[in-house]
Amino acid sequence: MSNPEATRIQLRMSNRPAALEGITILDFSTVGPATRCARILADYGARVIKVGVPPKKMGLQTQPAFWSYSANRGLEQVRIDLKAPEGKAAFLALAKGADVVIESYRPGVMKKLGLSYEELKGLNSRIIVCSTSGFGQDGPGSLQAGHDINYLAVGGYMHTSNRRADGGPPIPGATVADSAAGGMHAALAIFAALMRREKTGEGEYLDVCVAEGVLWLTSLYVDQYLATGDSPGPGHDVLTGRYACYDIYGCSDGKWLAVGAIEGHFYANLCKALGCEKWVESQYDDAVQDQIRTDFAAAIAKRPRDAWAGELAPANTCVAPVYAIDELVEDPQFQARGIFTEAVHPEHGTFRQVAPAFAGMDRPDGPVEVPDWSKTNTDDLLAEAGVAPDEIRRMRDDGIIG
């Protein structure tokens, strides 16, 4: 049934058009890189329609918590059984008027469903199909299953991170592969394809490989090895912990301070503020790094984190507090820039969430209504695509749509 609460919301702070206004995207994903991509595109103003399975098959598909991925802010959804001929025909009616299809199935699944790029292109020559997968659509590892941690492992990210106490790489605190190497990668590729379509009039197929996105994130070190034969690892350079000027130090209250004083003048300011002036000329002297680190640690351990941050951050030292999540949401800099907004859910009420965060996105100037995801826009969207009312009723009665 239609869900009036799920009506698409235009996030505006001005009268300018959104970057992707007029672009319609069909997204098969429920979690991971493709869903991150769809979130980005929606926040740039695209009309994003999530394509899910009907109620009888919902147990086969991951259902994220209501607050996940911005609580489906501004999105619409249809639920269709693509394996039923009538369901496939209904999806094709949607695809005929769409600009982009995003999918994250294993390689070959879309072809088995009769929904490959070639088949969709025959229906709509301007369509862009973006496949996001862990290891790409071809090659000996293309069918391997994986998650964020696996892509970070094969892409070099894990190896160049500082070690845990047992010598192993740490588990990252954010899904860097899903969000940056996958989601942003896919969104950037789609933006480029839309621009190219303006020149050619034709759509295209995009093979987004998350592991290659991670490799690109690690490319400073990969390129170093390929050019010089040096094999970077934890502690090999300033950005991986070789020097005391780029490290994390404990404070008297058990909290932590991140120091990134790479440039000489920032480092000199830091040394003077910590009472460690004797080390000003030794920033990159490998022979004394343990001594510098010991002195920095001893000085910083004398005071609470926020006392240090309040003094050092404004003093051109490249120092910042290591925030817990419940702290960062109250940070005055984030507050001043309006990075958090209120969302209103039909069942869960009002709560805060991260607003559209990237440059060029419009941030709302008031609470945003988010949809009850247990309801859908299926009937209205199929009717808009030209599917006859009698056919919609029959498919609903047969459980093909929901």
186-197, pLDDT tens digit by residue? 999 999 999 999
Range(s) within the chain of domains with CATH label 3.40.50.10540:
4-216+337-397
pLDDT at 8: 37
Mean pLDDT of 309-329: 97
Least confident interval from 121-135, 156-170, 200-214, 379-393: 156-170
How many CB atoms neighbour CB 129 within 10 A?
Answer: 25
Residues of the chain with CATH 3.30.1540.10: 238-250+256-321
Whether the predicted pLDDT of 7 surpasses 50:
no
Question: How would residue 10 be classed by pLDDT, with cut points 50, 70 and 90?
Answer: very low
We find that the CATH architecture of domain 238-250+256-321 is 2-Layer Sandwich (3.30)
Say which range, 1-15, 112-126, 164-178, 332-346, has the weakest mean pLDDT. Answer: 1-15
Mean pLDDT calculated for residue range 27-56: 95
The confidence score (pLDDT) of residue 316 equals 97
* 254 vs 26: CA distance, rounded Å: 47
Residue 15, pLDDT score: 76
Residue 57 has pLDDT above 60, yes or no: yes
pLDDT at 320 over 70: yes
φ, ψ for residue 27 (rounded to 5)? Answer: -125, 120
Residue 139 has pLDDT above 50, yes or no: yes
Query: Residue 56: its pLDDT value, please?
Result: 77
- 312 pLDDT higher than 50: yes
Return the percentage of the chain with pLDDT > 70, whole number. Answer: 96
| Between 247 and 2, the higher pLDDT residue | 247
pLDDT(12) > 70? no
Q: Give the chain's radius of gyration (CA, Å).
A: 25
Using an 8 Å Cβ cutoff, are 110 and 142 in contact? Answer: no
Q: What is the mean pLDDT of residues 250-262?
A: 98
CATH among 1.20.120.790, 3.40.50.200, 3.40.50.10540, 3.40.395.10 for 4-216+337-397? 3.40.50.10540
What average pLDDT does this structure show over 210-231? 96
State the DSSP code for 83.
T
Residue 14 confidence class, pLDDT cut points 50, 70, 90 = low
The dihedrals phi and psi of 20, each to the nearest 5 degrees, come to: -110, 25
Angle, in degrees to the nearest 10, between helices 185-200 and 32-43: 60
Q: Evaluate whether 266 touches 317 at the Cβ level (below 8 Å).
A: yes
Mean pLDDT across the chain: 94
pLDDT > 90: what percent of the chain?
Answer: 92
Confidence of residue 62 (pLDDT cuts 50, 70, 90): confident
- Supply 398's token pair: 């047969």
Mean pLDDT across the stretch 291-306? Answer: 98
Q: Looking at residues 95-116, what average pLDDT do you find?
A: 96
Q: Does residue 4 carry a pLDDT above 70?
A: no
Own/partner contacts of 83-86, CB < 8 Å, gap of 24 or more, are 83/113, 84/395, 84/398, 84/400, 86/391, 86/394, 86/395, 86/398, 86/400
Six-digit token string for 374: 């247990």
Question: How far is 401 from 379, CA to CA, in rounded Å?
Answer: 9
Q: What angle do CA 11, 14, 19 make, to 5 degrees?
A: 60
| pLDDT at residue 60, as a whole number | 62
